[in-house]
Structure 1
Amino acid sequence: MDYKEINGCENKKNPNEKKSNLKRIGIGILIVVLTNFITFTIALRMPLKGTVRISESKYDEISKFSKMFIVKQNIEMFYDGKIDENKLIDGAIKGIANSVNDPYTVYMDKDEYKEFSTYTEGDYVGLGIRVGVKDNKIVIIAPFEDSPAKKAGIISGDIIEKVDGKQVLGKDLDKAISMMKGEKNTYVVLTINRQNTEKIDIKVKRDVIPLITVSGEMLDDKIGYIQISTFAENTGSQFQEEVNRLNKKGMTGLILDLRQNPGGWLTQSIEITSKFVEKGKTIVSTIDKNKNKEEFKSKGGELIGIPLVVLIDGGTASASEIFSGAIRDYELGTLVGEKTFGKGIVQSVLDKKRFGFGDGTALKVTTSKYYTPNGENIHHKGIKPNIEVKYPKDLLKKTYSRETDPQFKKALEIMKEKMK
């Protein structure tokens, strides 16, 4: 039988008795303190000579704050079931973060933050997909090449409605990502809404997903081709290594493929964009809620002036849109493909002690909007290509081949014209 208290008579055999009593005493003291504080604030509201009044809104805020602790105490006293103290507290904190209705603002507990850090810094076990949120729906931006998701038939534009039978919405983004990760060689079932015409269940086997974010090769006529899948912590160095390798082979023009790139670290985007933009020019600027503006300037690089074509599509988002916006605004290259995703906001990860953390948890919060060099915020608007080329949807269901890729073929045609 579970330990319980009735009329103050305790079960002396329970080994957690002392610990439980101390918890209740601590909560009791906290409630008393809060109650006294509220009583004091009521006194402040009374129209007595020489007193300071507290506003109605502030009083209501304090009352609700105390209500949270009272609810917790009542659950512990009366709920007939197992209670996990950590989950109880984490749930309350998550509720505060979720209440702003921003799918990119989330509180991460220790496990979730560990997964998030792995996702941006190293390998992880999952499905190999990039996702975003549109109209409170979780949308597949892109599956990785050779990933479990790609092999299972998941394609860009698919909407995830359920994970293992549990419905998920845009506001549940981080929860859904966590559910899709797990142990290697285990399975997860995604219920997919494809093009609003059919719903299908796809069973995917989890595997290790290596974060190799940059790949490249030399094409004909000294044209280099580089693909960046995401802007992870080491993408800048990987990009430089690839540029060095292609330069040794005689690269004089570059096709940069940012299709299906969902973004990532702002710092890495700026580092790579700097290689194409003259030193001192603004790559991107951010403005926060207090109207504080920060400009990120180019450091300059060895690719300034190189003939450039950039491939973009609906999966090109966030940090990759920062790159595309700078190239467009300074007319440094030709954008080919389809309009980008349209994510013009910046998130910061607060995990240090000065933010009240330092215990392995973190808060990822939207802190500012970003603007292209011409002052445009592209949130929910995206960036239009200089030359629009649609990718046929029927090709998405087939094995990829450059021979049938109209966007790549157009980019190659334009590059050859540039190099004449």
Structure 2
Amino acid sequence: MKIRLPRLLIASALAICLLLPQIASADGQNSGILNGSDDYIVSIMEMIKERYRFEVTDSELLEGALKGIFGSMDPYTEYMTAAEEESFYESINGGYYGIGISMSKIGDHIKVTKVFESSPAERAGVYAGDIIVSIGGVNTADMAVKDAVELIRGQKGSRVVLGILRGDLRKQEDIELLTGEVSMRLVKHDISDGKGYIKIASFGGAAVDEFIDALKQMEDNGIRDIVLDLRDNSGGYVEAAVAIASKLVPRGLVTRLEFKEGYKENIKYESPLDEVKYKLSVLVNRNTASASEILAGAIQDTGVGRLVGEKTFGKARVQYIVPILTPEAYKKYSDELGVKIVDASKLLWEYGINPAEEEILGSSKITMGVYTTPHGRMIDKVGLKPDVEVSRDLPGSGIDTDSIENLTVTWKPGLNDEGGDIYYAEQILKLLGYDIDEPDSLLDKKTYAAVGEFQKLKGGGPYGFGRLDFTTQKWLNEELNRLRLENDKQYARAVELLKN
């Protein structure tokens, strides 16, 4: 089976600018050590197989050697197996196989904090606020979230049974799900009080189209003032960051990529925009990194917006994905072509050969370049200093307003109804000081009473006190926006700057 051409092109051509967990690196150089190293490495592997007490295959030794070689450079260069590469692209593009939930550790068990739209979890009736007490019969007490994720995902298309507690903690419901493809939106937007809000989670494959859709909503509503939220955005594709920057910054340089002299020509990315339409306040923090810093740096240098929050991470290194041939494929094409090639993409570009899937051992993610801002600033290990520094502290309740979704205003939950809107309504009410239990997805008697009190304060409830009718949901959404201004000091300062 042949590799699909687009995937190989993507792997070999796209620049990746992403903050990832660091890998230990080693210092030092050796001149001329590569001469005759083929036999040396083979001899090392033979010695290990001869003396190592347990079984180890040639493939395992080879992959271990490659991980060591690529891991000896900077923290962002690494060798990836096929499975690791797939997970890597999923982390950027916001799509993966699973059930479509976010989770956090609450007490002894796992709590669902978000259910993604059109996901297997949503179709099966899992709601934000649900407590997962078991996964496939395995109790989640003392289970880490990462272990729960692995247990739930399993194999593509596999079935998993979640033991759920909802509302009345004495009653457990078992929900069976079939894992499938989950697509997450990378860009979310909102409009309130004559201003726009756009949050970019990652510069993945769909980010540009989603951002353009968000801008269209701004234009359709006459919005020119926008809070652009890049907090906790660890990066993605350089091309995506540049494409978005080209919708915001004036004609001229967005960023410059510089490569090793003699290997690759430097690249200048420029914006073609003749008219700047938007006034921006850009939210950044210590986890704003890499491709996010390309966009933030371009906005800051061109003066179309101000950065608000904390100093950014400081990563100006650019990685490319290089598919690596197996030893057998390496020998095959060396014999056929008379050249030594380990980079599978080079076979495609220079010889028009698309290697078979089984001829690819894995891929290397290797730092090939660095980038600078329009003014030539090199921010690696330095970061971008915000124009207005503001720290952020969560309210005493520990509920982060940024994690609360606006109520959908698409249905009218009543007593004992279940759903994600109820979970977010409970979080808003708890932040407002109403006496409710730990937010879940059940409109129980206590939450029903709290909704009634809120409605009385507002002047009534069209369908009787306690029901989450459309008017009440709109009131709660207005309160959520006010709470964001009150509890999110960075967001509040960004909004204030737009008014000046």
SS at match of 1:349: strand
1:295 to 264, 268, 284: 268
Question: Relative to structure 1, is the Cα distance of residues 266 and 295 closer, same or farther in structure 2, using a 3 angstrom cutoff?
Answer: same
Question: Relative to structure 1, is the Cα distance of residues 79 and 184 closer, same or farther in structure 2, using a 3 angstrom cutoff?
Answer: same
The alpha-carbon deviation at position 65 of structure 1 amounts to 3.9
SS at match of 1:351: strand
Letter in 2 for 1:324: A
Instruction: Tell me what 1:51 maps to.
Output: none
The alpha-carbon deviation at position 388 of structure 1 amounts to 1.2
2:255 & 2:113 partners in 1: Cα distance?
A: 30
Letter in 1 for 2:317: I
Instruction: Tell me what 1:184 maps to.
Output: 152
Letter in 1 for 2:40: K
Question: Relative to structure 1, is the Cα distance of residues 326 and 398 closer, same or farther in structure 2, using a 3 angstrom cutoff?
Answer: same
Letter in 2 for 1:81: F
Instruction: Tell me what 2:496 maps to.
Output: 413
1:377 & 1:86 partners in 2: Cα distance?
A: 40
- Does residue 69 in structure 1 map to residue 27 in structure 2? no
SS at match of 2:378: coil
Instruction: Tell me what 2:254 maps to.
Output: 283
How many correspondences in the alignment? 302
1:113 & 1:147 partners in 2: Cα distance?
A: 25
- Does residue 263 in structure 1 map to residue 267 in structure 2? no
Please list, as runs of the form range in 1=range in 2, the aligned pairs for 1:121-200 lying within 5 A after superposition.
121-124=93-96, 146=114, 182-184=150-152
SS at match of 1:62: coil
Question: Relative to structure 1, is the Cα distance of residues 370 and 83 closer, same or farther in structure 2, using a 3 angstrom cutoff?
Answer: same
- Does residue 248 in structure 1 map to residue 220 in structure 2? yes
Q: Which has the higher contact order (CA 8 A, sep 6+)?
A: 2
2:129 & 2:322 partners in 1: Cα distance?
A: 36
Contact 2:93 2:203 in 1 (8 A): no
Where does the alignment leave 5 or more consecutive residues of structure 1 unmatched?
1-55, 130-143, 153-163, 167-176, 187-205
1:332 & 1:379 partners in 2: Cα distance?
A: 23
The alpha-carbon deviation at position 182 of structure 1 amounts to 2.7
Q: Deviations over 1:175-212 (max 9, x none)?
A: xx9x89634268xxxxxxxxxxxxxxxxxxx9987431
2:97 & 2:234 partners in 1: Cα distance?
A: 19
- Does residue 350 in structure 1 map to residue 322 in structure 2? yes
Letter in 2 for 1:412: V
Instruction: Tell me what 2:86 maps to.
Output: 114
The alpha-carbon deviation at position 128 of structure 1 amounts to 6.2
The alpha-carbon deviation at position 310 of structure 1 amounts to 0.9
Question: Relative to structure 1, is the Cα distance of residues 412 and 342 closer, same or farther in structure 2, using a 3 angstrom cutoff?
Answer: same
The alpha-carbon deviation at position 238 of structure 1 amounts to 0.7
Contact 1:313 1:337 in 2 (8 A): yes
Instruction: Tell me what 1:386 maps to.
Output: 387
Q: Deviations over 1:331-367 (max 9, x none)?
A: 1112111111111111111127775235442110011
The alpha-carbon deviation at position 384 of structure 1 amounts to 1.0
1:103 & 1:165 partners in 2: Cα distance?
A: 29
Contact 1:342 1:382 in 2 (8 A): yes
1:75 & 1:165 partners in 2: Cα distance?
A: 36
The alpha-carbon deviation at position 228 of structure 1 amounts to 0.6
Instruction: Tell me what 1:310 maps to.
Output: 282
The alpha-carbon deviation at position 111 of structure 1 amounts to 1.4
Letter in 2 for 1:388: E
Question: Relative to structure 1, is the Cα distance of residues 181 and 294 closer, same or farther in structure 2, using a 3 angstrom cutoff?
Answer: farther
Letter in 2 for 1:385: P
Contact 2:394 2:400 in 1 (8 A): no
- Percent of aligned positions with the same letter in both sequences? 30
Contact 1:214 1:226 in 2 (8 A): yes
Q: Deviations over 1:54-83 (max 9, x none)?
A: xx953x433544221112122333434222
TM-score for both structures, normalised by structure 2: 0.54
1:381 & 1:207 partners in 2: Cα distance?
A: 41
SS at match of 1:264: strand
Letter in 1 for 2:496: E
Contact 2:309 2:390 in 1 (8 A): yes
Letter in 2 for 1:287: E
SS at match of 2:114: coil
Q: Deviations over 1:89-132 (max 9, x none)?
A: 111111111122x2210011111112222222352368969xxx
Instruction: Tell me what 1:369 maps to.
Output: 370
Letter in 1 for 2:221: K
2:149 & 2:261 partners in 1: Cα distance?
A: 37
Letter in 2 for 1:325: G
Question: Relative to structure 1, is the Cα distance of residues 182 and 71 closer, same or farther in structure 2, using a 3 angstrom cutoff?
Answer: same
Contact 2:226 2:281 in 1 (8 A): yes
Question: Relative to structure 1, is the Cα distance of residues 89 and 255 closer, same or farther in structure 2, using a 3 angstrom cutoff?
Answer: same
1:326 to 290, 298, 303: 298
Q: Deviations over 1:250-276 (max 9, x none)?
A: 212211111111111100000000011
Question: Relative to structure 1, is the Cα distance of residues 396 and 239 closer, same or farther in structure 2, using a 3 angstrom cutoff?
Answer: farther
Contact 2:394 2:488 in 1 (8 A): no
Contact 1:305 1:332 in 2 (8 A): no
2:382 & 2:148 partners in 1: Cα distance?
A: 29
Instruction: Tell me what 1:398 maps to.
Output: 399
Letter in 2 for 1:252: R
Instruction: Tell me what 2:189 maps to.
Output: 216
Letter in 2 for 1:371: T
1:340 to 312, 330, 333: 312
2:231 & 2:113 partners in 1: Cα distance?
A: 12
Question: Relative to structure 1, is the Cα distance of residues 207 and 378 closer, same or farther in structure 2, using a 3 angstrom cutoff?
Answer: farther
1:396 & 1:286 partners in 2: Cα distance?
A: 45
